[in-house]
Amino acid sequence: MMTDGFIIAIDGPAGAGKGTLARRLADHYRLNLLDTGLTYRAVAHRLVTHGLPLDNISAAETAARQIDLAAMDRDTLSTHAVGEAASRVAVHPSVRRILVDKQRDFASRPPGAVLDGRDIGTVVCPDAPVKLYLTATPATRARRRMAEIEARGGQADYERVLADIERRDSRDMGREDSPLRPAADAHLLDTSEMDIDAAFEAACVIVDQALAARTKA
Ligand code: C5P
């Protein structure tokens, strides 16, 4: 099946299952994969390790220019604290512009890509033939986060995890530049009552339809 230059855009709030779904789709359709959240996390991590404040815009711009998408270390960047810091860095439009350019460049490489984030369908790849918007209730997302933390041998307090998720949602949805929202032509998938296999099956139906439409065109 033809997938050349094919882009799948996945957006949604933290803990909705975007990362797992993106990986499954990239494997299945043999597309490149970019977790764009890591780019914001990498900038935040660089500032924190250099002892710089997250609102130092020129330092954040320099860090953003230096990010190498191929060298982002998921283990270092995946902590809860880095995610929180990333959402503070992500409010700066000039930092976003630098990272969005890199993300678009990645998306343009053959054979195509799955990108997940907050603004993929609205800003980064507005012409993507498939746009998915994943949601789940805050309580479901908080329970998933707890399970992830516990699976790594850690401990967390449910009320705190829930409060963090709600605060991050409101920062991501409320910012002026590129707020988190579904694109007008996005397919909404509510994963509250769905496991990953069901979400994957639902997404494949949508992707297969888009691929069939391309083949005909
Ligand atoms: O998805 P992840 O939790 O790794 O994202 C961390 C933060 O990076 C998000 O809370 C959001 O503020 C920011 N982000 C963004 N745009 C993206 C991806 C992530 O603003 N495309």
Q: Whose CA is nearest to atom 9 of ligand 1?
A: 87
Q: What is the pTM of this model?
A: 0.95
Count of residues making up the chain: 217
Tell me, yes or no, whether 99 lies in a domain: yes
- Structurally, the chain folds into a number of domains equal to 1
- CA-to-CA dists, residue 211 to 3, 5, 110, 179, 187, angstroms: 7, 11, 16, 29, 15
Q: Is residue 10 part of a domain?
A: yes
Select from 11, 34, 13, 9 the least CA-distant residue to 133: 11
Q: How many CB atoms lie within 10 A of CB 196?
A: 13
Q: What share of the chain is helix, strand, coil (3-state, %, to 5)?
A: 55, 10, 30
Q: pLDDT 10s digit of each residue in the chain, 217 long?
A: 445 689 999 999 998 999 999 999 999 999 999 999 999 999 999 999 999 999 999 999 999 999 999 999 999 998 888 999 999 999 999 999 999 999 999 999 999 999 999 999 999 999 999 999 999 999 999 999 899 889 888 888 999 999 999 999 999 999 999 999 999 999 999 999 999 999 999 999 999 999 999 887 7
The DSSP code for 122 is I
Distance from Cα 81 to the centre of ligand 1, integer Å: 13
Round to whole Å and give the CA distance between 207 and 115: 14
Domain membership flag for residue 132: yes
CATH code, domain carrying 87: 3.40.50.300
Question: What local confidence, expressed as pLDDT, does residue 148 receive?
Answer: 84
Ligand 1, atom 7, lies closest to the CA of 87
Residue with tokens 């890509």: 113
CA of 206 to the centre of ligand 1 (A): 24
Is 153 among the domain residues? yes
pLDDT of residue 47: 98
Identify which of 151, 179, 144 has the alpha carbon closest to the alpha carbon of residue 18: 144
Q: Which residues line ligand 1 (CB under 6 A)?
A: 14, 36-37, 40-41, 83, 86-87, 90, 117-119, 168, 172
The answer to whether the beta carbons of residues 11 and 37 sit under 8 Å apart is no
Centre of ligand 1 to C-alpha 91, Å, is: 10
Q: Which domain holds residue 42?
A: 6-216
* Ligand 1 pocket test, candidate residues 87, 115, 124, most atoms within 8 A of CB: 87
Q: Which atom of ligand 1 has the smallest separation from the CA of 115?
A: 21
Structure-token pair, residue 3: 């997938």
Which residue's alpha carbon is at the smallest distance from atom 12 of ligand 1? 87
Per-residue confidence (pLDDT) for residue 5, from 0 to 100: 83
Residue 1 lies in a domain: no
